[in-house]
Amino acid sequence: IDVRALVSELDTLATAAAGHPGMPSGEDNTDSYLDYAPTAIPPQFQSSPGSSASAQEMALAPKSCAENEELVGGLCYGKCSTLSNGTHPYRMSAYQCCEQSSFLGCLLSSKKGSSIINFAFPGSGYDIDGSGNTPHPPGSCLENEENILNQCYQKCAILTKDEYPIRSGSNTCCKKKPCLNPFNLQSSGVGCDGYGIG
């Protein structure tokens, strides 16, 4: 089968666009991207000075929750034992920590204060991961990255030289929480540009 003949016959738009700037040449060459791929990690994307992450560690981040996190409902949350200073070590939900490990015992307990419920926006209250960001599926970001909305981005502290150390969006960094004051925010770029790099 002559694939080029079929494509030119059935997909005239693709054939007419082949070779124009930004369009593929029309040839199906699966390894042509290797000619343009960098042979090393560009310096701006390498781990920060003092980081012990090797290139292999950067490529193969672990697929579990961090040591200061616990897996509940398929997401990694900050440990209740840490968030409650040890008083309520058992997580019952995204917003609830309890003194007892039994869910029903926690809900039906007549003892005042046996459960702490903290309803808040994701990424605040008890609905946080081990770094204080939104909970994420198992798998971690690299040492020089942070997780927000289940994506890994380079740390705002690195990008802004600690001036805006808290990430509040894919391309936005914040001076201090809560990140609702526009005077405490700084945005740069759109998509995978500016602060939206990993």
Same domain, 127 and 77: yes
Mean pLDDT throughout 160-170? 90
Task: Tell the residue number behind the tokens 């008890």, with chain if given.
Answer: 126
The answer to whether the CB of 84 falls within 8 A of the CB of 76 is no
How confident is the model over 116-158, as pLDDT tens digits? 777 677 778 888 888 887 888 887 677 788 877 777 888 999 9
Q: If you ran DSSP here, which 8-state letter would residue 136 be given?
A: B
Domain boundary among 140, 171, 189: 140
Count of domains for the chain: 2
Same domain, 70 and 124: yes
| Residue 174 pLDDT exceeds 70 | yes
Which residues are within 8 A (CB) of 91 and not within 5 positions of it... i.e. 6 or more apart? Answer: 70, 72, 77, 79, 80, 97, 98, 126
Domain boundary among 140, 162, 189: 140
pTM value surpassing 0.75: no
Residue 132 domain boundaries: 62-140
CA distance 159 to 178: 20
Mean pLDDT throughout 178-185? 88
How confident is the model over 3-59, as pLDDT tens digits? 666 656 665 555 555 555 555 555 544 444 344 444 444 454 454 544 445 544 444
Same domain, 132 and 70: yes
Same domain, 109 and 91: yes
pLDDT, residue 110, reads 61
Same domain, 133 and 83: yes
| Residue 90 pLDDT exceeds 70 | yes
Burial profile 26-51: b = 16 or more Cβ within 10 angstroms, e = fewer:
eeeeeeeeeeeeeeeeeeeeebeeee
Domain for residue 145, yes or no? yes
Domain boundary among 140, 165, 190: 140
CA distance 154 to 148: 11
Same domain, 66 and 126: yes
pLDDT, residue 59, reads 47
